[in-house]
Amino acid sequence: MNQSGIYHSLKEITLDDRHIIFKLRTGRMLNYSMLYAYLKRKLRLPSYFGNNLDALYDCLTDLSWLGDTRQIILEFDQTARLLSEEPKNRAAAFTELLRDVAQEKSETKTEFIVIFNE
């Protein structure tokens, strides 16, 4: 069963032997400019990443640059700080994007898992 989705704890999922966990510090993602720069570096996004939500969606639904990985896990610390300098409706667009990517990946062999720690 594909576990793609958004969770509140890593304990809620079963880890595959071919997983990658990206531990993400939300203090480095207070606005979209910071978020794009940080994710590009931490997730090793391809050079063609365009620093916008559409480009991020494209990269996260492709994931080919990560090789034969079965689980991609993005673990965010202190989610209250995530995009805290952005208006709430703009910040919510990022969470919606992550949900959309998880939905897209739920039909594939690669699981896309987001952990929002409090």
- In order along its 118 residues, the chain shows pLDDT tens digits of 899 999 999 999 999 999 999 999 999 999 999 999 999 999 999 999 999 999 999 999 998 888 888 999 999 998 999 999 999 999 999 999 999 999 999 999 999 999 998 7
Whole domain around residue 30: which residue ranges? 5-116
Q: Count up the domains in the chain and report the number.
A: 1
- Residue 3 has what pLDDT? 96
Total-model pTM: 0.93
- Residue 8 has what pLDDT? 95
- Residue 57 has what pLDDT? 97
Sequence-ordered list of residues with C-beta below 8 angstroms from that of 52, at least 6 positions apart, any chain: 36
Question: Got the DSSP string for 30-91?
Answer: SSHHHHHHHHHHHTT--TT--SSHHHHHHHHHH-GGG-S-SEEEEEES-GGGTTTTS-HHHH
Helix (H) or strand (E) holding 97: helix 88-105
Nearest alpha-carbon partner for 41 in 31, 54, 51: 51
CATH number of the domain at 112, please: 3.30.370.10
